[in-house]
Amino acid sequence: MPKRIQAISAVLAAITVFLCGCGDNTPHTTDVQSTAGETTDVISVDISQIVTDDGTEPVTDAPEEEPLYWEGPHVKSLKIGGVDVSEFTVVCQSSAKTLKKARDELIKYVEAATGVTLKISDGESAHEICIGETDRDTDRVRAARDTLVNNGCAVICDGGRLYLTGADQTGTLYAVYTFLEEQLGCRFYTSKVEEIKFSRGVEVPDGFEYVHSPKLFNRDTFWYDTFEPAFAAKMKINGYVNRNMDAGYGSTIKYAGHFVHSLPYLAGTSTTPNDQPCLTDPAVYEKVLAQVRRLLRGYNDSKIVSVSQNDSFPGALGCQCENCKKLDDEQGTPMGSLLTFVNRIANDIKDEFPDVYVDTLAYRYTRKAPKTLKPADNVIIRLCSIECCFSHPLDDPECPANKEFCEDIEAWSKICKNLFIWDYTTNFMYYVNPFPNLGVLYDNVRFFINHNVIGLYEQGNGQSYSGEFGELRAYLIAKLMWDPDMTRERYYEYMDEFLKGYYGDGWRYIREYIDKTTAKAAEGHIGIYDPIDKIMPFTGTQIKRTAARVEFTKELQALWDKAYEEADDEHKPNVEKSSMQIISASLYTRWYKASSPEKLQHLHELMKKYNITFHRENVRVPDTVDYKTNINQW
Site residues (vs Zn ion, CB under 5 A)? 278, 280, 319, 321, 324, 389, 392, 399, 401, 525
Tell me how far, at minimum, the Cβ of 319 lies from Zn ion, in Å.
3
Q: Which is nearer to Zn ion, 306 or 444 (CB)?
A: 444
Q: Which is nearer to Zn ion, 68 or 406 (CB)?
A: 406
Which value, to the nearest 10 degrees, does the dihedral of the CA atoms of residues 80, 82, 86, 88 take? -60
CB burial of residue 199 (10 Å; 0-12, 13-18, 19+): buried
| DSSP assignment of 113-179 | HHS--PEEPSS--SSEEEESS-TT--HHHHHHHHT--TT-EEEEEETTEEEEEESSHHHHHHHHHHI
Tell me how far, at minimum, the Cβ of 33 lies from Zn ion, in Å.
37
Tell me how far, at minimum, the Cβ of 401 lies from Zn ion, in Å.
5
Tell me how far, at minimum, the Cβ of 390 lies from Zn ion, in Å.
8
Q: Which is nearer to Zn ion, 525 or 577 (CB)?
A: 525
CB burial of residue 601 (10 Å; 0-12, 13-18, 19+): exposed
* Residue 194 β-bridge partners: 188
Tell me how far, at minimum, the Cβ of 518 lies from Zn ion, in Å.
13
Tell me how far, at minimum, the Cβ of 558 lies from Zn ion, in Å.
28
Q: Which is nearer to Zn ion, 173 or 319 (CB)?
A: 319
Tell me which DSSP letter residue 533 carries.
H
Q: Which is nearer to Zn ion, 440 or 600 (CB)?
A: 440
Which value, to the nearest 10 degrees, does the dihedral of the CA atoms of residues 303, 366, 411, 491 take? 60
Distance of CA 442 to the CA centre of its chain: 10
Q: Is 188 helix (H, G, I), strand (E, B) or coil?
A: strand
Tell me how far, at minimum, the Cβ of 532 lies from Zn ion, in Å.
17
Tell me how far, at minimum, the Cβ of 279 lies from Zn ion, in Å.
6
- Ranges of beta strands (E only) in 373-502 are 379-384, 418-424, 453-459
How crowded is residue 544: how many other Cβ atoms within 10 Å of its Cβ?
11
Q: Which is nearer to Zn ion, 45 or 401 (CB)?
A: 401
Residue ranges in 486-541 assigned as alpha helix (H): 488-503, 507-521, 532-535
Of 190, 176, 186, 197, the residue nearest 232 (C-alpha) = 190
**Are residues 344 and 292 in contact, defined by beta-carbon separation less than 8 angstroms?**
no
CB burial of residue 441 (10 Å; 0-12, 13-18, 19+): buried
Tell me how far, at minimum, the Cβ of 393 lies from Zn ion, in Å.
9
Q: Which is nearer to Zn ion, 26 or 272 (CB)?
A: 272
Q: Which is nearer to Zn ion, 245 or 409 (CB)?
A: 409
Tell me how far, at minimum, the Cβ of 402 lies from Zn ion, in Å.
6
Q: Which is nearer to Zn ion, 285 or 469 (CB)?
A: 285
Q: Which is nearer to Zn ion, 389 or 510 (CB)?
A: 389
* Residue 324 β-bridge partners: none
Which residues contact residue 297 at a Cβ distance below 8 angstroms, ignoring those fewer than 6 apart?
Answer: none
Q: Which is nearer to Zn ion, 5 or 406 (CB)?
A: 406
Tell me how far, at minimum, the Cβ of 398 lies from Zn ion, in Å.
8
Q: How many residues comprise the chain?
A: 634
